[in-house]
Chains A and B, each alone.
Chain A
Amino acid sequence: MRDPGPVSVNALAGSIPDGARLALPADYGGVAMAATFALIRRGARRLRLFGVPTSGLQTDLLIGAGAVETLETAGMALGESGVGPRFRDALRAGGLVVRDSTCPAQHAALQAGEKGIPFLPLRGILGTDLLAGRQDWPVIRNPLAGEADPDPIVLIPAVRPDVALFHAALADAAGNVWIGLRRELATLAHAARRTLVTVEALHPGNLLEDPLMAPGTLPHLYVAQVAVAPGGSWPLAFGESHPADDGALARYSEAAKTDDGFAAILAEWLR
């Protein structure tokens, strides 16, 4: 059920329950940072994060804030600065469960989720230690191959996240959200049980009635809540209009190497 009209960023973040399986886009894909700060302020706990398909600053912050129980992702880095410092620290300390994956598997899991089917088969991956560590990814013989051809193939189980959270350019009063080229956000929203979106601005009129906008629009059918948060991806980039705040990102990757440094920069960003 969709809430009528936009809600506040705090209300949107407040609707994500502790323990939720929360799917989040990659750092380049429309990250709802303002909502993430709100989520940390409210003291979220035991989140089970799912990277679409990879993870970065947002996940490092949530880990550092003690909000994360498990992380399933194809990669975890802060751009040019490499592995997230809070992620690395949590691995060392133990207590964070990581399920390593690969980008096409993260996408395939959501595609199976949106189709309402139990799995999708995927090429490659065979014979790797990544596969050996994924007891939940069975390998079957292609049932359509000939008798003489074993053709083993990996099955990726469907994923239906409890919540998807991302940042987009526009939403209209009906709750339609314009995602443009970021079609993986549509797949994500189709697969997720509830989708929460922060947007740069409200669009006058109905996005679905504009033939140029409609193909890049996620229909309100899949959108539970919208909040308006201009610059809501800061310090990450959002499209060409909002370049990354490179200074802030460099400062984070340095500060977050220590507990005290992380606490200080988090307190500053939560203000």
Chain B
Amino acid sequence: MRERDVTKSAFLAAVLARCIAGSGSVAVGSNSPIPAAAALLAEHKAAGRLTVFILGSPRHNPFTDGGREMFDFAAQGRLDSFFLGGGEIDGTGDINLLRTGDHRFPGCYGAPYLMALVPNIVLFREEHSRRVLVPRVDFVSARGSGPEGAYRTGGPKSLVTGRAVFRFTDGGFTLVSCHPGETVETIRAETGFDFAVAADPRPTEGPTDEDLQLLQGPIASALAPLYPRFTARLLRGSHA
């Protein structure tokens, strides 16, 4: 196999794109360049069967009734997939987008609502450390499951980091694949919560040649107006 210059961003975008394979609709929120690239990659692969909404992008907006429409669409159960990050993520799938101690994050955005309503929530945070993957979040912006008695149709299905991919089932995470250079032991050392390990944890598959061409060509061009610095990194081919 020939040497390829795969940026970390391109690698993660390809992994995230697989997490939404089979969806008919996906939305991407604020400050989410890698998920936006992933959604556009999945759109190319789905050959017209996936509709992508990228907040702030005039060209990827299927909605015509204002900012509320995507949220109404989600509450009706029409939105299949959404990406959420977290300043902190814990082993119950709860995420913190607001603050730890006196450190402030940007805010909760749509998370407290969408986490409960979108069936395929993909949690994504590139930094995989005990600072981010904590035993218990300081502030619950959105819950991975529950509370008991509440109407709920959504929740996390997977967690992708810069080191690994986890599946979320029965209120907890299972390690399913490690990115190149990582092992179950190195993942455990950097993770602040307990997790199960799949019977056959494999190396995470990166992008195909076609994925890379798409990411560094049409997808980078499409995202440049929204994420100029990210696009430069994706194109330059230098590791972030």
Which residues of chain B have C-beta atoms less than 8 A from A271's C-beta?
none
Please measure, in the bound complex, the distance between the C-alpha atom of A102 and the C-alpha atom of B29, giving whole angstroms: 12
Q: Which of A52, A82, A102, A122 contacts B67 (CB 8 A)?
A: A52
Task: Flag A215-228 by CB within 8 Å of B: 1 or 0 each.
Answer: 00000000000000
Asked whether, in the complex, the Cβ of B104 is within 8 Å of the Cβ of A129, the reply is no
Please measure, in the bound complex, the distance between the C-alpha atom of A107 and the C-alpha atom of B66, giving whole angstroms: 9
Name, among B68, B111, B140, the residue most crowded by chain A CB atoms within 10 Å (CB to CB).
B68
Please measure, in the bound complex, the distance between the C-alpha atom of A74 and the C-alpha atom of B71, giving whole angstroms: 14
How many residues of chain B are within 8 Å of chain A by beta carbon? 46
Please measure, in the bound complex, the distance between the C-alpha atom of A135 and the C-alpha atom of B107, giving whole angstroms: 18
Beyond A107-B71, A237-B225, whether A91 also contacts B104 by CB under 8 A is yes
Asked whether, in the complex, the Cβ of A127 is within 8 Å of the Cβ of B106, the reply is no
Asked whether, in the complex, the Cβ of A127 is within 8 Å of the Cβ of B31, the reply is no
Secondary structure class of chain B's binding surface, majority of residues? loop
Which residues of chain B have C-beta atoms less than 8 A from A73's C-beta?
107
Which residues of chain B have C-beta atoms less than 8 A from A125's C-beta?
112-113, 116
Which residues of chain A have C-beta atoms less than 8 A from B115's C-beta?
124
B180 within 8 A of A: no
Task: Flag A232-261 by CB within 8 Å of B: 1 or 0 each.
Answer: 000001011001101000000000000000
**CB proximity of A129 to chain B, nearest CB, Å:** 4
Asked whether, in the complex, the Cβ of A82 is within 8 Å of the Cβ of B116, the reply is no
Please measure, in the bound complex, the distance between the C-alpha atom of A87 and the C-alpha atom of B106, giving whole angstroms: 10
**CB proximity of A54 to chain B, nearest CB, Å:** 7
B114 within 8 A of A: yes
- Chain B's closest residue to A88 (CB) is B104
Please measure, in the bound complex, the distance between the C-alpha atom of A54 and the C-alpha atom of B149, giving whole angstroms: 30
A187 within 8 A of B: yes
Asked whether, in the complex, the Cβ of A104 is within 8 Å of the Cβ of B98, the reply is no
Looking at B1-9, B57-65, B200-208, the stretch in contact with chain A turns out to be B57-65
Q: Which of A80, A87, A88, A185 contacts B31 (CB 8 A)?
A: A80
Which residues of chain B have C-beta atoms less than 8 A from A105's C-beta?
113
Asked whether, in the complex, the Cβ of B67 is within 8 Å of the Cβ of A101, the reply is no
B150 within 8 A of A: yes
Which residues of chain B have C-beta atoms less than 8 A from A54's C-beta?
30, 107, 109
Asked whether, in the complex, the Cβ of B116 is within 8 Å of the Cβ of A80, the reply is no
- Chain A's closest residue to B76 (CB) is A123
Beyond A54-B30, A123-B151, A128-B143, whether A80 also contacts B71 by CB under 8 A is no
Beyond A107-B67, A130-B141, whether A123 also contacts B116 by CB under 8 A is yes
Name, among B56, B75, B104, B225, the residue most crowded by chain A CB atoms within 10 Å (CB to CB).
B104
The 7 closest A-B pairs by CB, nearest first: A183-B66, A75-B107, A127-B147, A124-B113, A184-B66, A77-B106, A124-B116
Query: Which residues of A pack against B, CB within 8 Å?
Result: 26-29, 52-54, 73-77, 79-80, 82-83, 87-88, 91-92, 100-105, 107-108, 111, 122-131, 150-153, 181-187, 237, 239-240, 243-244, 246
- 26 example contacts (A-B, Cβ-Cβ < 8 A) are as follows A28-B55, A74-B110, A75-B30, A75-B107, A76-B106, A77-B107, A80-B31, A80-B229, A82-B106, A102-B108, A102-B109, A104-B110, A104-B113, A107-B66, A107-B67, A111-B68, A122-B113, A123-B116, A124-B113, A124-B114, A125-B116, A128-B112, A128-B141, A181-B61, A183-B67, A184-B67
